[in-house]
Amino acid sequence: MSAAAIELREVNKSFGKTQIINGVSLAIERGERHAIIGPNGAGKSTLFNLISGRYEPSSGSILLNGEDVTGLKPFQINRKGLSRSFQITNIFHNLSVYENIRCGALWGSGHKYSFWHRVGGLHQVRHRAEEVMERIGLAPRRNMSAGTLSYAEQRALEIGITIAGGANVILLDEPTAGMSRTETAHAVELIRQVTEGRTLVMVEHDMGVVFDLADRISVLVYGEVIASGPPPDIRANAQVKEAYLGALHGENNSA
Amino acid sequence: MANLRMPPVNLGRWLLWGSTALLFIVAPLVFTQGFALTMMTQMGAFIIFALSYNMLLGQGGMLSFGHAVYSGLGAYFAVHALNMIGKGTLAFPVMLLPLVGGSAGLVFGVLFGYVTTRKAGTTFAMISLGIGELVHACVLMFPRFFGGEGGISTNRVVGHPFLGLTFGPAIQVYYLVAFWCFACMIAMFALTQTPLGRMANAVRDNPERAEFVGYDTQKVRFLQLVLAGFFAGISGALSCINFEIVTDENVSALRSGGVLLATFIGGTGFFFGPIIGSVVFIFFVVALSGFTQAWLLYLGLFFLAMVLYAPGGIASLLMMQLPVIRAGRFRRLLVPYLLALAAGLVAFAGLIGVVEMVYRISDASLDSQMSLFGVGFDAKSPQPWIAFALLLAAGLVALRLAAGHVGERWGAIHNELQGSEP
């Protein structure tokens, strides 16, 4: 059996005395669409930040395609084939849509820090950027500056930048946050398309999206994975119902 | 849509570069006075300096307070090379001396950039200021190489004339500077079109995201700074050839501040911004300093006005007019613009009067009898004070009204243009 796309071994993360991630062990197989759910403050985003190199774990190790990437910088992890999006839109605001996507595709083209190639002459990069732009439906907006796009368009661009580099492991942090119902349906379709043949890990609050897309679901509560399995198992899991859905009910009642 | 290709030859761009080259060639034929030639030569060298500075500020988002370090050290190495050529210990064409300065700028860019570019933002600004002070202090501490306060002087008419060029006459120096300026302009523009240049923009906009698409932001900043150091060094060598002396002023904070001022006035958001800024700045420095002692004050006020009212610089003011001109509606703005200009000139005249009188009476060695705009008066009598103060006040009020008028027209045209889009 080939190595898992992502494997976490006893990962801990604490900020000062506050333990955010508490001994998480998790293996996500290649080609799997994996959703991480859990109540607010469970540590989902922190988990993403650990996997993508934004934070370094306090202890434990993280493997990407069987290779230890613990403590590497975000750009090093990205070069090893992992790309992520952000919950709060994180794009290049003053660059055009096209340039945003091109930035995502540039490193993968192998031209790195070159200052002797004309970027407009790099056919591979241009093709890739055009292709991604078509896919995320932003081709008509190609020359608009990213900061002037609508919210839903910025979210699509966020995904576009993430997938442009051709990484085989994609992390999406709440890709449908703040979207309307139709926009969400559109986004789900987009995510399904662009992650075809890749490994997808996503944090998502919309249970419709989660059960629609995910092959497997992990439930994170207070920094611990309390359950991990296919959607029907998770739906039936009593512990999950109690901890997660109970918390949700609590939230709903208090709201 | 996906099959849409850029035309193979960008005609507009060729036209622009072509006319720039032409401007360089014919400028000394139009402005024939020696004074104008000196000024244009300085402009050429400063354009390279300001463009290299904008590789940091505008393109890479690095606010440097010590950019003169690279041009200044480039100038010092160039002056020693020139003196060695003079003594016959080095065989090197004077024409290529800028490469010596450029190499020095590059090497020091590697050395200092390694320290400064580790962090962006305020930290970068502070470290660049520190290195600027450090280098300035070192220049005064090691007089054997740097010549102390007196600096190092040289003679540019050395070596064998190449194609009859001795670089003795000012016109030859002008064309040397013009050649290098044009070449550097093209090179620096080309750099903006490379992967590094584009990623410098990305790192400026959002360093965090750049890290998550595979780029080490520190390395992007470092390479950008090293290249900027190279071009700054070229400009330093050209000023060494032009002035035939290099002093500690070449690496001073004053010069670092000057290039920041010029670049900002011109506009950091567009490639050609610093070119305009350099022309304006050198005009202030060279032309105005001949007329009035208060030139630095006028420059400061001008800078202040730009920062407050046009933070995008002159370049962005010009570019804002483009869509209006394209839509053929510029004529409707012409009258409000002219009114604003007239009001501005009245206010400026009042300001000049007040400032010059202050200078006149603050310097005890000068006679209080003076003349401005062809009118003679005594700076110690109250009438001119009242007159100029009234002029200034009236000008400011009129400027305010005119600006409102411009804003109204501008808004109306803008709305129409937005409405006409599909």
In terms of domains, do B145 and B247 share one?
yes
CB contact under 8 A, A118 and B209: no
Q: Is residue B370 part of a domain?
A: yes
CB contact under 8 A, B197 and A119: yes
Q: How confident is the model at residue A247 (pLDDT cuts 50, 70, 90)?
A: low
* Whether pLDDT at B178 is above 90: yes
Domain boundaries, position B100: 11-297
Q: Is residue B100 part of a domain?
A: yes
Give the domain CATH number at B21: 1.10.3470
How far apart CA B137 and CA B143 sit, in angstroms, is 11
A·B CB contacts under 8 A: 105
Among the partner-chain residues B194, B208, B213, the one whose CB lies closest to the CB of A103 is: B213
Final residue of a domain: which of B282, B297, B312?
B297
In terms of domains, do B140 and B220 share one?
yes
What's the sign of the alpha-carbon dihedral A138, A144, A146, A151?
negative
pLDDT at B5: 46
* Whether pLDDT at B340 is above 80: yes
Query: Residues 157 to 216 of B: which have CB under 8 A from any A CB?
Result: 190-191, 193-199, 201-202, 204-206, 208-216
- Which residues on B lie below 8 Å from A79 (Cβ)? 214
In terms of domains, do B227 and B334 share one?
no
CB contact under 8 A, A108 and B190: no
In terms of domains, do B198 and B342 share one?
no
In terms of domains, do B252 and B340 share one?
no
CB contact under 8 A, B199 and A118: no
In terms of domains, do B341 and B247 share one?
no
In terms of domains, do B129 and B241 share one?
yes
In terms of domains, do B283 and B363 share one?
no
In terms of domains, do B370 and B226 share one?
no
- Can you tell me the ipTM of this complex? 0.90
B309 interfacial to chain A (CB closer than 8 Å): no
Q: Is residue B204 part of a domain?
A: yes
Largest CA-CA distance found in chain B, in angstroms, rounded: 76
- Between B364 and A143, name the one with better pLDDT: A143
Among the partner-chain residues A107, A113, A139, the one whose CB lies closest to the CB of B213 is: A107
Q: Is residue B309 part of a domain?
A: no
> Which residue of A64, A106, A114, A115 to mutate against B (max B Cβ within 10 Å)?
A115
* Whether pLDDT at B379 is above 60: yes
The burial of B135, by beta-carbon neighbours within 10 Å (0-12 exposed, 13-18 middle, 19 or more buried), is given as buried
Rounded to an integer, the average pLDDT of B319-335 is 88
pLDDT at A241: 80
| Most confident region among A100-114, A215-229, B154-168, B218-232 by mean pLDDT | B218-232
CB contact under 8 A, B216 and A75: yes
CB contact under 8 A, B216 and A52: no
Give me B9's structure tokens.
């030859």
In terms of domains, do B351 and B291 share one?
no
Q: Is residue B284 part of a domain?
A: yes
In terms of domains, do B37 and B83 share one?
yes
Task: Tell me the pLDDT tens digit for each residue of A114-150.
Answer: 999 998 889 999 999 999 999 999 999 999 999 999 9
A75 interfacial to chain B (CB closer than 8 Å): yes
- Rounded to the nearest angstrom, the minimum Cα separation between B114 and chain A is 16
pLDDT at A246: 61
Q: Is residue B322 part of a domain?
A: no
Is residue B146 classed as helix, strand or coil in its secondary structure? helix
Task: Tell me the pLDDT tens digit for each residue of B95-146.
Answer: 999 999 999 999 999 999 999 999 899 999 999 999 999 999 999 999 999 9
In terms of domains, do B230 and B369 share one?
no
* Number of domains into which chain B is organized: 2
Q: Is residue B315 part of a domain?
A: no
Alpha-carbon distances of A221 from A87, A226, B280, rounded to whole Å:
19, 7, 63
Q: Is residue B37 part of a domain?
A: yes
What's the sign of the alpha-carbon dihedral A239, A240, A243, A245?
negative
Strands A6-15, A169-173: parallel, antiparallel or unpaired by DSSP?
unpaired
Task: Tell me the pLDDT tens digit for each residue of B62-78.
Answer: 999 999 999 999 999 99
A252 interfacial to chain B (CB closer than 8 Å): no
pLDDT at A5: 94
